[in-house]
Amino acid sequence: EVGDANAACGGLLVLLQLHPAASLVEPLLLAILDGGRQLAAEGEASNQTGGEEDGLTDAARLLLSWRQPLGWLVCKCDDLAAGQRQLIGALAACAAERSALLPQAAPLLKALWQADLLQEELLLQWAAGTASTAQAQLDERLRRFAAPLVEWLQSTEPEVP
């Protein structure tokens, strides 16, 4: 069951004493997404394609609610860019294991971007295929499904801080 996202940080702190942060990103992401799928199956969540107003699926909204522990774990990686690349790679691996996640790639990546867990520049580099990864086939499948978000990001004006 999906528990309190803020309470998860304590468990992550304990796990970080035994494992590098990068190795925990994928299992945490998979647990979050599987927990959301379980809630939807039990009828405690709305339908998978709900939320037309913000373009996010329920799974994407769930990721937004877990932004603090996910962000904390990403920041604990060797560097921020490496952590963000690990997060994208973890999403690709989760989508490979759970093919139902592939059509949700754009909303999931959008949720991670909106939560400031992924920088726009790094996301666009990944989408262009300029960031080299060991899981090129997984990334390519995810890129195809993420294309609507990437096209939207490329067409928007850059935000000035």
Q: Tokens for 102, please give them.
A: 């592939």
Distance CA 138, CA 158 (A): 29
Reading the chain (161 residues) residue by residue, the pLDDT tens digits are 345 777 788 888 899 999 999 999 999 999 888 876 655 555 443 444 444 456 678 888 888 889 999 999 999 988 999 999 999 989 988 888 888 888 888 999 999 999 999 999 999 988 887 555 556 666 777 888 888 888 888 887 766 55
* Residue appearing with tokens 């299992």: 27
Cβ neighbours of residue 50 closer than 8 Å, sequence gap 6 or more:
57, 58
| Res 2: pLDDT | 47
**Within 13 Å of residue 51, how many CA atoms lie on the same side as its CB?**
17
* Residue appearing with tokens 């499948």: 141
Angle, helices 105-114 vs 80-97, to 10°: value is 150
At 115, the amino acid letter reads A
| Res 26: pLDDT | 92
Q: Is the dihedral of CA 135, 138, 144, 149 positive or negative?
A: negative
pTM reported for the whole predicted model: 0.76
Question: Is residue 83 a contact partner of residue 75, using CB atoms and an 8 Å limit?
Answer: yes
Question: Is residue 86 a contact partner of residue 74, using CB atoms and an 8 Å limit?
Answer: yes
- Please state, as a whole number, how many other Cβ atoms lie within 10 Å of the Cβ of residue 22: 19
Distance CA 110, CA 117 (A): 10
